[in-house]
């Protein structure tokens, strides 16, 4: 995400420095040596014009900035760098996935810690942004302190052409080895393979012998696009109930409707940008991230594997239409350049006092 922020903000004409925190010089040197490069600026910038700068504990940022974007989620990075980050930036911002459980959270003033730390909050989800707008109407929130800026996908590298000739379905991976996270999908795919024996399945970081899936190992995001996302006709979301690492955020504990949803699953957007539909259970997907035309592939009963199989077959039998509709939805709503333009507008308005 930081790469795309730096890429598009630099393409929009801004001077951008991307700081990468390290605990020690040896940590950085190990990464450079393993990649046979001499500095962070040697890695791909995808055509962007920005600097990549290493920073270590007790270092300060090298310059003063109008706006600083905070992208860290680890405690040691916060403890080591947040104060110098704040001191070096006239304004600060952060992009939040789902973070407001319900409107009572706003009425009780529980957004205050977020606004104490950041001058501008970028809401990744329209549902959070709508709750903030309601707070504006009731005089609880300053409208200049937040904006809507979804997380997106790269239409230049996530492509919907040159698909495999045989139907290809991808399976997401749970964190951990709990087979219940994918069991309904595997059973459904077994049924589909009886009717469509040439069906190919790609499974991220796992192998499922029941369907002879091809394991796609973790790698760089560009390799992930080429080896997994870009090949898909359909993408099967897992049951996050059995992948505990996906559902640890406080919002998932405070709002029952979110307890089995990942707070923002960008692979759903990437899959649609690649022309695939998302096939998943209603309790695991975020409605606003799914094209209306693809809602027919969302199921409501984990135990009805025939229904899930029928949805997979529907995806395959309507491949061309699914491809076009999914791509159009993702391009219109989640192209990275458009997402960053929304965020840029929020930052400019904050700076100008509009």
pLDDT of 65 higher than 80? yes
Tell me the C-alpha distance between 308 and 299, whole Å.
7
Residues across the chain: 354
pLDDT of residue 292: 96
pLDDT of residue 10: 97
Q: Tell me the average pLDDT across 71-96.
A: 95
pLDDT of 15 higher than 80? yes
pLDDT of 30 higher than 90? yes
Q: How confident is the model at residue 58 (pLDDT cuts 50, 70, 90)?
A: confident
pLDDT of residue 353: 66
Phi-psi region of 248 (alpha: psi -120 to 50; beta: other; left: phi over 0): alpha
Q: Tell me the average pLDDT across 81-101.
A: 96
The alpha carbon torsion through 296, 221, 343, 51 (nearest 10 deg) reads -170
What angle in degrees, to the nearest 10, is found between the helix axes of 319-334 and 336-352?
A: 20
| CA angle in degrees (0–180, nearest 5) for 288-98-255 | 100
Reference 176, options 262, 246, 243, 249; nearest CA is 243
pLDDT of residue 354: 54
Percent of the chain with pLDDT over 70: 99
Tell me the C-alpha distance between 111 and 157, whole Å.
36
- At residue 147, φ and ψ (nearest 5 deg) are -150, 170
| Strand 89-96 with 120-123, pairing | parallel
pLDDT of residue 148: 98
Tell me the C-alpha distance between 70 and 55, whole Å.
14
Residue 183: other Cβ atoms inside 10 A: 17
Beta bridge partners of 216: 204
Determine whether 293 is exposed, middle or buried from the number of CB atoms within 10 Å of its CB (0-12, 13-18, 19+): middle
Tell me the C-alpha distance between 282 and 285, whole Å.
6
pLDDT of 62 higher than 70? yes
pLDDT of 213 higher than 70? yes
Q: How confident is the model at residue 286 (pLDDT cuts 50, 70, 90)?
A: very high
Contact call for residues 267 and 240 (beta carbons, < 8 A): no
| CA angle in degrees (0–180, nearest 5) for 73-76-80 | 110
Q: pLDDT tens digits, residue range 178-202?
A: 999 999 999 999 999 999 999 999 9
Q: Tell me the average pLDDT across 34-45.
A: 94
Tell me the C-alpha distance between 23 and 79, whole Å.
12
- List, in order of start, the domains of the chain with CATH numbers: 2-151+336-352 (no CATH), 168-333 (3.40.50.2000)
Report pTM.
0.95
Record the tokens describing residue 153, joined without a space: 């996908």
Reference 267, options 242, 234, 300, 296; nearest CA is 234
Regarding predicted confidence, which is higher, 349 or 274?
Answer: 274
Q: Tell me the average pLDDT across 132-139.
A: 97
């Amino acid at each position: 995400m930081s790469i795309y922020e730096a890429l598009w903000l630099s393409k929009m004409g801004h001077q951008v420095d991307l700081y990468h925190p390290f605990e020690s010089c040896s940590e950085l040197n190990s990464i450079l040596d393993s990649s046979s490069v001499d500095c962070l600026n040697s890695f791909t910038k995808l055509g962007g014009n920005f600097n990549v700068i290493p920073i270590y504990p007790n270092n300060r940022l090298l310059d003063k900035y109008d706006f600083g974007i905070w992208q860290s989620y680890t405690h040691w990075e916060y403890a080591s760098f947040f104060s110098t980050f704040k001191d070096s930036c006239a304004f600060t911002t952060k992009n939040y996935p789902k973070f407001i459980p319900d409107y009572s959270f706003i009425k009780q003033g529980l957004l205050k810690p977020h606004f104490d730390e950041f001058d501008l909050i970028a809401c990744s989800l329209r549902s959070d942004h709508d709750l903030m707008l309601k707070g504006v109407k009731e005089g609880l929130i300053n409208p200049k302190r937040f904006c809507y800026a979804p997380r997106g996908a790269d239409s230049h590298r996530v492509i919907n052409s040159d698909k495999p000739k045989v139907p290809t379905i991808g399976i997401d991976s749970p964190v951990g080895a709990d087979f219940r996270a994918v069991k309904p999908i595997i059973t459904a795919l077994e049924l589909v393979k009886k009717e469509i024996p040439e069906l190919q399945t790609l499974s991220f970081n796992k192998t499922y012998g029941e369907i002879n899936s091809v394991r796609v190992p973790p790698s760089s995001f560009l390799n992930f696009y080429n080896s997994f996302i870009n090949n898909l006709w359909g993408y099967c979301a897992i049951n996050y109930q059995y992948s505990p690492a996906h559902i640890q955020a406080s919002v998932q504990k405070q709002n029952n409707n979110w307890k089995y949803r990942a707070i923002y699953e960008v692979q759903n957007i990437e899959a649609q940008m690649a022309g695939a539909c998302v096939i998943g259970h209603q309790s695991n997907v975020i409605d606003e991230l799914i094209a209306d035309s693809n809602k027919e592939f969302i199921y409501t009963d984990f135990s009805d594997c025939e229904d899930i199989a029928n949805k997979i077959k529907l995806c395959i039998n309507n491949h061309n239409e699914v491809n076009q509709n999914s791509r159009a939805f993702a391009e219109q709503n989640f192209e990275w350049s458009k997402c960053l333009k929304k965020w840029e507008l929020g930052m400019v308005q904050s700076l100008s006092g509009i």
